[in-house]
Amino acid sequence: MPFLRAPFVRPAFFTPLLVAALAAGCADSSVETGESPDDTQAAATSAPLDSALVDRVGGADLVFVGEVVRVAHRLSDVAGPDTMAAPHTFVTYAVEEVLLGRAGDEVTLRFAGGPTGDGRFARVSGVPRFTPGDRDLLLVQDNERSACPLVGCGQGRYRLLDDRVYTEGGRELRVAADGRLVAGARAERPELDVAVVGGVVYERVGEDSAAEAGTSAVVAGDQLTLDGLSGRLTAAIAAAFGPSDPTAGPVFRNADIARTFTIPRP
């Protein structure tokens, strides 16, 4: 089936403040790139823990594995001349496993961007797009308080296909001998290359993060599995938070599409 390149618009309310903030967040990545010596999966999973990964989980409110079951859209509320109707996307996951924080059976996150109501799609650079059936491991931060409620924006989303782990940019995730997470070759998987929004197929075109651009296809070790990534994240959580129960505390507050929220005019 041929992919449709849907029309795109970046409205004024996304610039300059939100775009600058998101660009800074997406540039802060725990996934490093470059060529490293070959290694085995066993050696990679026993490699030293990546200190950047410890820092990233230390900033997360929730770390969980889940599958997208609903994607909904609406405009923000207008409460006067200083606010405006800005498109947003509400993504609901069925929760499979929680590594950090507490959550119910579902988690709903709110992202800036979405259909504008006139056939176009407003998108903030770096903010992921989602399709029901997507399975991910997410590092969540500042839900309903951030335009992109993931640690490092797209870098807080690990894509899962057949229990293999990919970056948001569609590259294989590997572990170097020194413990760094390394973005490898781009995967030839159509599930990673498109998102369906309102029946329209949106193709990823030039959406690699700055950290992933130009990555060599030759990188360390075998591709990480979900178990391998979960193990490294569990170790990172223990290093960041100590011996306390990582799933204790209040239940995560979901975004609610019926809840009033406003976006200030720039």
pLDDT of residue 46: 57
Q: Which amino acid is at 24?
A: A
**Residue of 24, 252, 20, 21 lying closest to 141 (CA atoms):** 252
In a domain, 226, yes or no: yes
For residue range 114-133, what is the model confidence (pLDDT) as tens digits? Answer: 988 888 888 888 899 999 99
Written as six digits, the tokens of 250 are 């209040």
Question: DSSP class of residue 153?
Answer: G
In a domain, 112, yes or no: yes
Q: In this structure, are residues 62 and 248 in contact, taking their beta carbons and an 8 Å threshold?
A: no
pLDDT of residue 94: 98
Judge if pTM exceeds 0.85: no
**Residue of 124, 110, 109, 112 lying closest to 64 (CA atoms):** 109
Q: In this structure, are residues 39 and 145 in contact, taking their beta carbons and an 8 Å threshold?
A: no
In a domain, 248, yes or no: no
Domain housing 225: 8-241
In a domain, 116, yes or no: yes
* Summary mean pLDDT of the chain: 80
In a domain, 259, yes or no: no
Find which of 11-15, 164-168, 208-212 is predicted with most confidence, using mean pLDDT.
164-168
In a domain, 228, yes or no: yes
In a domain, 249, yes or no: no
Number of domains in the chain: 1
Residues 6+ away with beta carbon under 8 Å from 213: none
In a domain, 49, yes or no: yes
pLDDT of residue 108: 98
